[in-house]
Structure 1
């Protein structure tokens, strides 16, 4: 039985924020700076990892720096972009405002370091609409673990059947679905399996600019 929609969990990078290109080559450049050979498929390996897991993975490859230093250097590579220039995806603010106006409790759940996430969300005007920003670092688990989304919903105070998750990455869609949430897939050109995201999600947005009209239809279906 459907319940009223009371909560929405948003991914940030690639879903609300047009930021995926900010990370292009960052891992490779860091490893090369440490004299560590870069293997093919590094981006695919790093995609589901939290920041702490990324640091530990780099250590397993031979990086001798401690976790805190690794994270500081990775963040430093992209910090200015998050604080000063990365834009919202078209339609992102309108969607957030629409849901907030409906009384839906909103949060962002992201793999990005919390300081970077909050800086970008504050600059783009989304932070005031959010109950909180939850990072993998704060949750204590990566986004490929369904418990990540369960913890976000628990913090929102909403039940799974009352909560929708917005994600652009296939592994995140699978994780949120495995946790029992309704999921809306959001197209991002950085996701190589966008067709599969569309197939597995309960709803799909090829652009957030379509969101208000689509959400009105889904609202009737989901409540």
Structure 2
């Protein structure tokens, strides 16, 4: 397989940022004095932040507008993106290597653009990406393949020469059903689904594994 493009998830894949999303669904409601339903955090993970805001508005009857709820959710996490979250181990080296090999790169994420760009710029890797797409902009969560198909279109590569790097099971399932080659990324947030992810993905990179060494082992003889 000759690789010409890679589509990356952000949170839990490139960025070590999943802990804040693990409880955000419930934390937001608790701040409002509302007892969250059981399973709200898992539900939140599969929604765009805009869809989550709409869900809070309709399901819990919040008086704020959807726009205001969305802004409040983003305010809850933005400090971490602007000042704290770091890239996962070996990511910077890997991105630099891919660009030097003329491989096109795209971020496809459920997070909002302004915090995504801020985190990537602060970590010194924004310059490596040809495109950034968000679920809010595309209009669909990663339970639908729209964001992956649009990323492929923007990269201008074929599906057979493009990899998707993902850590979340629901997104991996979507990408596989859409016919993509998927690289699973180990993350603590998906520990309970690790076995399913390993069985479903075409490749799997462990947390202590060098991405560049993994790439050389699997694709070094495929050309660029």
| TM-score category, normalised to shorter length | over 0.9
Do the aligned partners of 2:56 and 2:62 also contact (CA within 8 Å) in 1?
yes
Matched position secondary structure for 2:179: coil
Q: Which residue of 1 aligns with 2:162?
A: 163
Do the aligned partners of 2:134 and 2:147 also contact (CA within 8 Å) in 1?
no
Q: Which residue of 2 aligns with 1:30?
A: 28
How big is each residue's C-alpha offset from its partner over 1:72-112, in whole Å with a ceiling of 9 and x where there is no partner? Answer: 10111111110011111111111111111111000111000
Matched position secondary structure for 1:190: helix
1:209 CA drift (Å): 4.0
C-alpha distance in 1 between matches for 2:67 and 2:74? 11
Q: Which residue of 1 aligns with 2:74?
A: 75
Do the aligned partners of 1:92 and 1:209 also contact (CA within 8 Å) in 2?
no
Q: Which residue of 2 aligns with 1:139?
A: 138
1:38 CA drift (Å): 0.6
C-alpha distance in 2 between matches for 1:120 and 1:10? 14
The structure-2 alpha-carbon separation of the partners of 1:66 and 1:72, relative to structure 1 and needing over 3 Å to count, comes to same
TM-score, normalisation: structure 2:
0.93
1:221 CA drift (Å): 7.0
How big is each residue's C-alpha offset from its partner over 1:150-197, in whole Å with a ceiling of 9 and x where there is no partner? Answer: 111101111111110000011111111111110000000001201211
C-alpha distance in 2 between matches for 1:107 and 1:205? 19
1:32 CA drift (Å): 2.4
1:31 CA drift (Å): 1.3
1:207 CA drift (Å): 2.2
Aligned residues: 221
Matched position secondary structure for 2:163: strand
Do the aligned partners of 1:186 and 1:208 also contact (CA within 8 Å) in 2?
no
Matched position secondary structure for 1:65: coil
C-alpha distance in 2 between matches for 1:125 and 1:208? 22
C-alpha distance in 2 between matches for 1:193 and 1:24? 14
Q: Which residue of 2 aligns with 1:202?
A: 202
Do the aligned partners of 1:89 and 1:208 also contact (CA within 8 Å) in 2?
no
Any gaps of 5 or more consecutive residues in structure 2? Answer: none
C-alpha distance in 1 between matches for 2:36 and 2:118? 30
1:29 CA drift (Å): 2.5
TM-score, normalisation: structure 1:
0.94
How big is each residue's C-alpha offset from its partner over 1:124-159, in whole Å with a ceiling of 9 and x where there is no partner? Answer: 011000012110011111111012201111011111
The structure-2 alpha-carbon separation of the partners of 1:93 and 1:208, relative to structure 1 and needing over 3 Å to count, comes to farther
Do the aligned partners of 1:91 and 1:207 also contact (CA within 8 Å) in 2?
no
The structure-2 alpha-carbon separation of the partners of 1:44 and 1:6, relative to structure 1 and needing over 3 Å to count, comes to same
Do the aligned partners of 2:22 and 2:189 also contact (CA within 8 Å) in 1?
no
